[in-house]
Protein backbone atom coordinates (compact mmCIF):
# COMPACT_ATOMS: atom_id res chain seq x y z
CA UNK A 1 0.00 0.00 0.00
CA UNK A 2 2.81 2.37 0.95
CA UNK A 3 4.61 1.54 -2.31
CA UNK A 4 1.55 2.43 -4.38
CA UNK A 5 1.14 5.67 -2.41
CA UNK A 6 4.78 6.57 -3.02
CA UNK A 7 4.46 5.92 -6.77
CA UNK A 8 1.30 8.02 -6.96
CA UNK A 9 2.95 10.86 -5.05
CA UNK A 10 6.02 10.85 -7.29
CA UNK A 11 3.82 10.80 -10.41
CA UNK A 12 1.85 13.76 -9.09
CA UNK A 13 5.01 15.76 -8.35
CA UNK A 14 6.44 15.03 -11.80
CA UNK A 15 3.16 16.15 -13.39
CA UNK A 16 3.17 19.29 -11.28
CA UNK A 17 6.75 20.08 -12.24
CA UNK A 18 6.03 19.53 -15.93
CA UNK A 19 2.93 21.71 -15.77
CA UNK A 20 4.85 24.49 -14.03
CA UNK A 21 7.62 24.33 -16.61
CA UNK A 22 5.11 24.49 -19.45
CA UNK A 23 3.38 27.53 -17.93
CA UNK A 24 6.72 29.23 -17.38
CA UNK A 25 7.59 28.78 -21.05
CA UNK A 26 4.30 30.29 -22.18
CA UNK A 27 5.04 33.68 -20.60
CA UNK A 28 8.38 35.29 -21.41
CA UNK A 29 9.91 38.70 -20.93
CA UNK A 30 10.23 40.65 -24.16
CA UNK A 31 13.80 40.14 -25.41
CA UNK A 32 14.09 43.82 -26.32
CA UNK A 33 13.82 44.87 -22.67
CA UNK A 34 17.33 45.76 -21.52
CA UNK A 35 19.26 43.64 -19.05
CA UNK A 36 20.25 45.36 -15.81
CA UNK A 37 23.78 46.79 -15.71
CA UNK A 38 25.38 47.59 -12.37
CA UNK A 39 26.33 51.22 -11.91
CA UNK A 40 28.71 52.42 -9.21
CA UNK A 41 28.45 51.30 -5.60
CA UNK A 42 24.92 51.84 -4.34
CA UNK A 43 24.39 51.44 -0.59
CA UNK A 44 22.06 52.65 2.12
CA UNK A 45 18.65 52.07 3.65
CA UNK A 46 15.12 52.63 2.37
CA UNK A 47 11.59 51.67 3.27
CA UNK A 48 8.68 50.18 1.35
CA UNK A 49 5.18 50.41 2.81
CA UNK A 50 2.00 49.49 0.99
CA UNK A 51 0.33 46.70 -0.93
CA UNK A 52 0.05 43.21 0.56
CA UNK A 53 -0.42 41.87 -2.97
CA UNK A 54 3.04 43.15 -3.91
CA UNK A 55 4.77 42.15 -0.68
CA UNK A 56 6.41 39.03 -2.09
CA UNK A 57 7.27 40.80 -5.34
CA UNK A 58 9.10 43.52 -3.43
CA UNK A 59 10.96 40.89 -1.42
CA UNK A 60 12.07 39.01 -4.54
CA UNK A 61 13.09 42.23 -6.31
CA UNK A 62 15.16 43.21 -3.28
CA UNK A 63 16.88 39.82 -3.21
CA UNK A 64 17.82 40.20 -6.88
CA UNK A 65 18.93 43.81 -6.40
CA UNK A 66 21.18 42.93 -3.46
CA UNK A 67 23.19 40.60 -5.70
CA UNK A 68 24.45 43.76 -7.38
CA UNK A 69 24.47 45.95 -4.27
CA UNK A 70 24.85 43.85 -1.09
CA UNK A 71 25.04 46.95 1.12
CA UNK A 72 21.49 48.02 0.25
CA UNK A 73 18.75 47.32 2.77
CA UNK A 74 15.05 47.98 2.13
CA UNK A 75 12.57 47.33 4.92
CA UNK A 76 9.37 45.97 3.37
CA UNK A 77 5.98 46.23 5.04
CA UNK A 78 2.75 45.15 3.32
CA UNK A 79 -0.46 46.04 5.13
CA UNK A 80 -2.52 47.33 2.21
CA UNK A 81 -2.30 49.90 -0.56
CA UNK A 82 -3.98 52.61 1.50
CA UNK A 83 -0.96 52.65 3.84
CA UNK A 84 1.38 53.71 0.98
CA UNK A 85 0.38 57.38 0.48
CA UNK A 86 0.59 58.33 4.20
CA UNK A 87 4.01 56.65 4.45
CA UNK A 88 5.32 58.54 1.41
CA UNK A 89 3.93 61.80 2.78
CA UNK A 90 5.48 61.21 6.21
CA UNK A 91 8.80 60.18 4.65
CA UNK A 92 8.80 56.85 6.46
CA UNK A 93 8.97 55.03 3.10
CA UNK A 94 10.68 55.77 -0.20
CA UNK A 95 8.60 53.20 -2.10
CA UNK A 96 4.80 52.99 -1.99
CA UNK A 97 3.64 49.78 -3.72
CA UNK A 98 -0.06 49.86 -4.62
CA UNK A 99 -2.34 47.44 -6.43
CA UNK A 100 -4.62 50.32 -7.44
CA UNK A 101 -4.13 53.88 -8.60
CA UNK A 102 -3.87 56.61 -6.00
CA UNK A 103 -7.15 58.36 -5.25
CA UNK A 104 -7.45 62.08 -5.99
CA UNK A 105 -7.59 62.93 -2.29
CA UNK A 106 -4.39 60.94 -1.67
CA UNK A 107 -2.61 62.79 -4.48
CA UNK A 108 -3.87 66.14 -3.13
CA UNK A 109 -2.49 65.43 0.36
CA UNK A 110 0.84 64.40 -1.14
CA UNK A 111 1.03 67.56 -3.25
CA UNK A 112 0.09 69.72 -0.26
CA UNK A 113 3.14 68.33 1.56
CA UNK A 114 5.72 68.36 -1.24
CA UNK A 115 4.49 70.90 -3.79
CA UNK A 116 4.52 68.33 -6.56
CA UNK A 117 2.57 65.19 -7.41
CA UNK A 118 3.82 61.65 -6.71
CA UNK A 119 5.50 59.75 -9.52
CA UNK A 120 3.74 56.48 -10.30
CA UNK A 121 5.64 53.66 -11.99
CA UNK A 122 3.84 50.70 -13.57
CA UNK A 123 5.85 47.72 -12.35
CA UNK A 124 3.96 44.68 -13.62
CA UNK A 125 0.52 43.40 -14.62
CA UNK A 126 -1.97 41.31 -12.70
CA UNK A 127 -5.18 39.43 -13.32
CA UNK A 128 -7.46 39.80 -10.32
CA UNK A 129 -8.94 36.33 -9.85
CA UNK A 130 -12.19 35.02 -8.42
CA UNK A 131 -11.28 31.80 -6.62
CA UNK A 132 -13.37 28.80 -5.55
CA UNK A 133 -12.35 25.60 -3.79
CA UNK A 134 -10.49 23.17 -6.08
CA UNK A 135 -13.37 20.67 -5.82
CA UNK A 136 -15.99 23.17 -6.96
CA UNK A 137 -17.28 22.17 -10.45
CA UNK A 138 -18.11 25.77 -11.43
CA UNK A 139 -16.02 27.06 -14.35
CA UNK A 140 -17.25 30.53 -15.29
CA UNK A 141 -19.19 33.50 -13.93
CA UNK A 142 -20.29 36.80 -15.42
CA UNK A 143 -19.42 39.99 -13.55
CA UNK A 144 -23.17 40.47 -13.03
CA UNK A 145 -23.28 37.18 -11.13
CA UNK A 146 -20.12 37.98 -9.20
CA UNK A 147 -21.62 41.32 -8.18
CA UNK A 148 -24.83 39.59 -7.02
CA UNK A 149 -22.75 37.18 -4.91
CA UNK A 150 -20.56 39.80 -3.20
CA UNK A 151 -22.65 42.97 -3.14
CA UNK A 152 -25.90 43.93 -1.47
CA UNK A 153 -26.23 46.87 -3.90
CA UNK A 154 -26.25 44.79 -7.13
CA UNK A 155 -25.36 47.81 -9.27
CA UNK A 156 -24.73 45.57 -12.27
CA UNK A 157 -28.44 44.82 -12.28
CA UNK A 158 -28.59 41.05 -11.81
CA UNK A 159 -32.19 39.92 -11.27
CA UNK A 160 -31.72 38.41 -7.81
CA UNK A 161 -29.47 38.20 -4.80
CA UNK A 162 -27.27 35.09 -5.16
CA UNK A 163 -26.84 33.19 -1.91
CA UNK A 164 -26.65 29.49 -2.87
CA UNK A 165 -24.60 27.48 -5.36
CA UNK A 166 -27.81 26.15 -6.91
CA UNK A 167 -28.58 29.64 -8.22
CA UNK A 168 -25.41 29.32 -10.30
CA UNK A 169 -26.53 26.03 -11.84
CA UNK A 170 -24.79 23.57 -9.52
CA UNK A 171 -26.77 20.46 -8.62
CA UNK A 172 -26.61 17.54 -6.18
CA UNK A 173 -24.98 18.27 -2.84
CA UNK A 174 -24.13 21.81 -4.02
CA UNK A 175 -27.66 22.93 -4.88
CA UNK A 176 -28.86 24.21 -1.51
CA UNK A 177 -25.50 25.00 0.07
CA UNK A 178 -25.00 28.66 1.02
CA UNK A 179 -22.10 30.48 -0.63
CA UNK A 180 -19.35 31.36 1.86
CA UNK A 181 -17.73 34.67 0.86
CA UNK A 182 -14.14 35.74 1.52
CA UNK A 183 -12.62 39.15 0.80
CA UNK A 184 -10.04 41.73 1.84
CA UNK A 185 -10.30 44.56 4.34
CA UNK A 186 -10.80 48.16 3.27
CA UNK A 187 -7.09 49.03 3.61
CA UNK A 188 -6.38 46.77 0.65
CA UNK A 189 -5.91 48.06 -2.89
CA UNK A 190 -7.35 44.77 -4.11
CA UNK A 191 -10.49 45.52 -2.07
CA UNK A 192 -10.68 48.99 -3.65
CA UNK A 193 -10.13 47.71 -7.18
CA UNK A 194 -12.73 44.96 -6.75
CA UNK A 195 -15.26 47.36 -5.24
CA UNK A 196 -14.84 49.81 -8.11
CA UNK A 197 -14.56 47.44 -11.07
CA UNK A 198 -16.82 44.56 -10.03
CA UNK A 199 -19.30 46.12 -7.62
CA UNK A 200 -19.34 49.47 -9.48
CA UNK A 201 -18.68 51.14 -6.09
CA UNK A 202 -21.58 49.28 -4.48
CA UNK A 203 -21.44 47.94 -0.93
CA UNK A 204 -20.11 44.54 0.04
CA UNK A 205 -22.45 42.19 1.87
CA UNK A 206 -22.10 42.16 5.64
CA UNK A 207 -21.38 38.41 5.59
CA UNK A 208 -18.09 38.79 3.70
CA UNK A 209 -15.28 37.31 5.80
CA UNK A 210 -12.67 40.07 5.60
CA UNK A 211 -9.08 38.83 5.63
CA UNK A 212 -5.87 40.75 6.40
CA UNK A 213 -4.05 39.44 3.31
CA UNK A 214 -4.50 37.70 -0.02
CA UNK A 215 -2.88 34.51 1.26
CA UNK A 216 -5.50 34.37 4.02
CA UNK A 217 -8.29 34.63 1.43
CA UNK A 218 -6.88 31.70 -0.53
CA UNK A 219 -6.31 29.67 2.62
CA UNK A 220 -9.88 30.28 3.74
CA UNK A 221 -11.28 29.04 0.43
CA UNK A 222 -8.92 26.05 0.48
CA UNK A 223 -10.41 24.97 3.81
CA UNK A 224 -14.01 25.82 2.86
CA UNK A 225 -15.58 23.63 0.17
CA UNK A 226 -18.33 26.21 -0.39
CA UNK A 227 -16.06 29.25 -0.32
CA UNK A 228 -15.49 31.96 -2.93
CA UNK A 229 -13.19 34.98 -2.81
CA UNK A 230 -10.84 37.23 -4.74
CA UNK A 231 -7.15 38.14 -4.87
CA UNK A 232 -4.34 38.60 -7.36
CA UNK A 233 -3.81 35.58 -9.61
CA UNK A 234 -0.26 35.27 -8.23
CA UNK A 235 -1.69 33.86 -5.00
CA UNK A 236 -3.23 30.81 -6.68
CA UNK A 237 -2.42 27.45 -5.03
CA UNK A 238 -3.35 23.84 -5.65
CA UNK A 239 -6.18 24.24 -3.13
CA UNK A 240 -8.20 26.69 -5.24
CA UNK A 241 -9.35 27.19 -8.83
CA UNK A 242 -9.56 30.53 -10.67
CA UNK A 243 -12.87 31.00 -12.47
CA UNK A 244 -13.08 32.22 -16.04
CA UNK A 245 -14.99 35.49 -16.24
CA UNK A 246 -17.25 37.20 -18.76
CA UNK A 247 -18.18 40.86 -18.83
CA UNK A 248 -21.87 40.10 -19.41
CA UNK A 249 -24.24 37.24 -18.62
CA UNK A 250 -23.95 34.54 -21.32
CA UNK A 251 -20.89 36.32 -22.70
CA UNK A 252 -17.63 34.68 -23.71
CA UNK A 253 -15.71 33.34 -20.72
CA UNK A 254 -12.07 34.44 -20.55
CA UNK A 255 -9.29 33.17 -18.32
CA UNK A 256 -6.59 35.41 -16.87
CA UNK A 257 -3.78 34.37 -19.20
CA UNK A 258 -1.16 36.81 -20.45
CA UNK A 259 -2.68 37.48 -23.86
CA UNK A 260 -6.14 38.10 -22.39
CA UNK A 261 -4.74 40.49 -19.79
CA UNK A 262 -2.63 42.44 -22.29
CA UNK A 263 -5.47 42.73 -24.82
CA UNK A 264 -8.05 43.54 -22.13
CA UNK A 265 -10.24 40.53 -22.94
CA UNK A 266 -10.01 39.39 -19.33
CA UNK A 267 -12.29 41.84 -17.50
CA UNK A 268 -10.26 42.16 -14.28
CA UNK A 269 -6.82 43.15 -15.57
CA UNK A 270 -4.76 45.74 -13.73
CA UNK A 271 -1.29 47.22 -13.30
CA UNK A 272 0.67 46.97 -10.05
CA UNK A 273 2.30 50.29 -9.17
CA UNK A 274 5.34 51.64 -7.34
CA UNK A 275 4.91 55.24 -6.16
CA UNK A 276 7.78 57.54 -5.20
CA UNK A 277 8.38 61.15 -4.18
CA UNK A 278 10.39 62.53 -7.12
CA UNK A 279 11.10 66.25 -7.02
CA UNK A 280 11.06 67.37 -10.69
CA UNK A 281 13.78 69.96 -10.01
CA UNK A 282 16.22 67.50 -8.40
CA UNK A 283 17.94 64.28 -9.35
CA UNK A 284 16.35 61.12 -8.03
CA UNK A 285 18.08 59.40 -5.11
CA UNK A 286 20.51 56.84 -6.65
CA UNK A 287 19.21 53.92 -4.56
CA UNK A 288 15.60 54.63 -5.53
CA UNK A 289 16.48 55.17 -9.19
CA UNK A 290 18.59 52.02 -9.53
CA UNK A 291 16.05 49.84 -7.75
CA UNK A 292 13.32 51.02 -10.14
CA UNK A 293 15.64 50.48 -13.11
CA UNK A 294 16.16 46.93 -11.86
CA UNK A 295 12.40 46.37 -11.56
CA UNK A 296 12.01 47.56 -15.15
CA UNK A 297 14.91 45.46 -16.45
CA UNK A 298 14.81 42.04 -18.09
CA UNK A 299 15.89 40.49 -14.77
CA UNK A 300 13.26 42.40 -12.80
CA UNK A 301 10.49 41.34 -15.16
CA UNK A 302 11.64 37.72 -14.95
CA UNK A 303 10.97 37.95 -11.22
CA UNK A 304 7.45 39.17 -12.03
CA UNK A 305 6.82 35.92 -13.89
CA UNK A 306 8.46 33.87 -11.12
CA UNK A 307 6.02 35.33 -8.61
CA UNK A 308 2.99 34.47 -10.76
CA UNK A 309 2.32 37.91 -12.22
CA UNK A 310 2.64 39.23 -15.76
CA UNK A 311 5.55 41.21 -17.29
CA UNK A 312 5.30 44.62 -18.89
CA UNK A 313 5.52 45.21 -22.63
CA UNK A 314 8.61 46.84 -24.12
CA UNK A 315 6.56 49.98 -24.83
CA UNK A 316 5.40 50.36 -21.23
CA UNK A 317 8.92 49.75 -19.87
CA UNK A 318 10.30 52.55 -22.06
CA UNK A 319 7.53 54.90 -20.93
CA UNK A 320 8.21 54.19 -17.26
CA UNK A 321 12.01 54.52 -17.56
CA UNK A 322 11.56 58.04 -18.94
CA UNK A 323 9.88 59.02 -15.67
CA UNK A 324 13.14 58.37 -13.79
CA UNK A 325 15.16 61.01 -15.67
Quote the DSSP letter at residue 49: E
Question: 324: burial class by Cβ within 10 Å (0-12, 13-18, 19+)?
Answer: middle
- Bigger pLDDT: 79 vs 202: 202
For residue 27, the model assigns a pLDDT of: 87
Please give the residue that has the higher pLDDT: either 325 or 227: 227
Q: pLDDT (tens digit, 9 = 90+) per residue, 32-85?
A: 999 999 998 999 999 999 999 999 999 999 999 999 999 999 999 998 999 999
From 268, 226, 228, 214, select the one nearest 245 (Cα to Cα): 268
What's the pTM?
0.82
Could you report the per-residue pLDDT of 162-192, keeping only the tens digit for each?
999 999 999 999 999 999 999 999 989 999 9
pLDDT band at 193 (very low <50, low <70, confident <90, very high): very high
Mean pLDDT over the full length of the chain: 91
User: Greater confidence, 311 or 12?
Assistant: 311
Q: Binning pLDDT at 50, 70 and 90, where does residue 158 land?
A: very high
The listed range with the strongest mean pLDDT (13-17, 26-30, 274-278) is 274-278
Residue 218's pLDDT is 97
pLDDT-derived band at 236, boundaries 50, 70, 90: very high
Count Cα neighbours of 223 within 13 Å in the Cβ-side half-sphere: 6
Whole-number pLDDT of residue 308: 87
Per-residue pLDDT, 225: 98
First to last CA, the chain: 65
Per-residue confidence (pLDDT) for residue 21, from 0 to 100:
33
Q: Give the CATH fold of the 44-125+272-322 domain.
A: D-Maltodextrin-Binding Protein; domain 2 (3.40.190)
Cα–Cα distance for residue pair 14/23, rounded to 1 Å: 14
pLDDT 10s digits, 296-324: 999 999 999 999 899 999 999 999 999 99
234 has pLDDT over 90: no
Quick one: pLDDT at residue 30? 95
Residues 6+ apart with CB under 8 A from 206: 152
Q: How confident is the model at residue 5 (pLDDT cuts 50, 70, 90)?
A: very low
pLDDT of 8 over the 50 cut: no
285 near 43, Cβ under 8 Å?
no
Q: What is the pLDDT of residues 108-145, one digit of tens each?
A: 999 999 999 999 999 999 999 999 999 999 999 999 99
For the cut 50, the answer to whether the pLDDT of residue 16 exceeds it is no
Q: Specify the CATH architecture of the domain 127-269.
A: 3-Layer(aba) Sandwich (3.40)
Range(s) for CATH 3.40.190.10 in the chain?
Answer: 44-125+272-322, 127-269
CB atoms within 10 A of CB 31: 7
Amino acid sequence: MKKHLLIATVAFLVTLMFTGATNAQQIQVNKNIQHYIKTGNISGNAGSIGSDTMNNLMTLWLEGFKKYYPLVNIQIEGKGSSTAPPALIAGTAQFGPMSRKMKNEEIDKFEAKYGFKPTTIRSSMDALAVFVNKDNPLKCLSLEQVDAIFSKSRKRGFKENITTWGQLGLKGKWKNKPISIYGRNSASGTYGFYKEHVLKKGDFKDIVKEQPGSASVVQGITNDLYGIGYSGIGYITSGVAALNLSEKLNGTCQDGNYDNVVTGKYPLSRYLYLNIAKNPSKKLDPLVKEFLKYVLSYEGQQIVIKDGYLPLSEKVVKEELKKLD
